Homo-oligomer: A and B are copies of this chain.
């Protein structure tokens, strides 16, 4: 069967758009969405380009899920709830097998995160995927990057470093990589392509955090984005920064430090908490309502200083992912 734009949309993408809260979805000039009167609309967009953001050999399902999840992570960083998304897909040649795997994986994640496809565009060209996610948040309750204060405590959710290790693994550029087991390799692959957007954590943090960001460019670079808005700095203790346990089996101290501090792509949240909310947050951590670690404090002195066990300053080298 020959595939054209309309038959592709009908066969592979219509079923993703048949759900709640959509007045008009896939198939008209625009989508029409109802935003409840007590909510604000929150929206974000990210493009993944073949060879730049994912390896050429990578499976369509992996690409689809990563493309959706990196956007969901931005929604999470605002303390918002995702509801809908659009997909602008550029393909060199339409291929039934590719489209089937891509749309199936996308549908699976769309269901998992309760996020409905409401429109998009399909064009011919070098493979790239642009997803725009729409969510809502109670009025004036979103966590912004600019709310932090002097002396605020800095926290990170989950564990860092796995995504950077995965990239090293794809590139086979790191010697110890040859030693990793299939199980670790699969874990790395999953961490890179299926990062867990911290939506639940973002919602909890809405009344606790003064600022939040998702770690896409690396802990130091992203923390810097928050600090810059107020010309503040931060003191970080490396021993407090949480990283994946298995990294010590596959890399030396310097590499672990690099992956953890500047690696990026883990999509955990980095957030700041004012003194008055620390007890509440620590109780939620103790009760396992949220998995997060204290890593340092916001300072008046600009720049980020990271100290090792002996109190020596670490050399942070490159400070984060640069898109150019």
Q: Please list the residues of chain A having a beta carbon within 8 angstroms of any beta carbon in chain B.
A: 3-5, 8, 23-24, 27-35, 37, 40-53, 74-75, 77-78, 80, 86, 88, 90-91, 93-94, 118-126, 128, 130, 132, 134-135, 137, 142, 144-146, 212-214, 322-324
Report copies per complex.
Answer: 2
| Given A123-B52, A126-B126, A323-B4, A30-B88 contact (CB < 8 Å) | no
Interchain CB contact under 8 A, B30 and A75:
yes
- Contacts of A78 on B, CB cut-off 8 Å? 28-30, 32
- Are A128 and B322 interface neighbours, CB within 8 A? no
- Determine which of B24, B43, B91 lies in contact with A33 in the assembled complex, contact meaning CB atoms within 8 Å: B43
In the bound assembly, the distance between CA atoms of A230 and B222 in angstroms comes to 51
Residues of chain B lying within 8 A (CB to CB) of residue A323: 4-5, 122-124
A197 to chain B, nearest CB (A): 11
Q: Which residues of B contact A94 (CB under 8 A)?
A: 324
Q: Is the CB of A130 within 8 A of B126?
A: no
- Are the CB atoms of A125 and B86 closer together than 8 Å? no
Within the complex, which residue of B53, B88, B134, B135 is in contact with A46, where a contact is CB–CB below 8 Å?
B88
Instruction: Enumerate 15 A-B pairs (CB-CB under 8 Å) in ascending A order.
Output: A27-B145, A29-B75, A29-B77, A30-B42, A30-B80, A31-B42, A32-B78, A33-B41, A33-B42, A35-B35, A35-B41, A46-B121, A47-B125, A124-B323, A130-B130
Closest-by-CB residue of B relative to A70 is B121
Most B CB atoms within 10 A — which of A75, A126, A324?
Answer: A324
Least CB separation from A42: chain B residue = B30
Q: Is there contact, CB below 8 Å, between B43 and A86?
A: yes
A34 near B40: Cβ-Cβ < 8 Å: yes
A29-B77, A30-B80 provided; 12 other pairs, C-beta below 8 A?
A24-B142, A29-B44, A29-B212, A33-B40, A33-B42, A35-B41, A45-B119, A47-B125, A49-B123, A51-B125, A88-B88, A126-B126
Question: B residues within 8 A CB of A23?
Answer: 40, 142
Residue from A29, A90, A119, A322 whose CB has the most chain B CB atoms within 10 Å: A29
CB distance from A183 to the nearest CB of B (A): 32
The chain B residue with its CB closest to the CB of A37 is B37
- Among B8, B32, B90, the residue within 8 A (CB) of A40 is B32
Residue of B nearest to A142 (CB): B32
In the complex, how many angstroms separate the beta carbon of A152 from the nearest chain B beta carbon?
A: 17
- Is A5 within 8 A of B40, CB to CB? no
Q: Which residue of the partner chain, among B48, B93, B125, B142, contacts A126 with CB atoms under 8 Å?
A: B125
B5/A123 in contact, CB under 8 A: no
Which residues of chain B have C-beta atoms less than 8 A from A33's C-beta? 40-43
Q: From A214, which residue of chain B is reached at the shortest CB distance?
A: B29
**Cα of A128 to Cα of B30 in the assembled complex, Å:** 21
Report the bound CA distance from A124 to B49 in whole Å. 8
Report Cα–Cα, A121/B33, bound state, in Å: 23
Q: Which residues of B contact A34 (CB under 8 A)?
A: 40-41
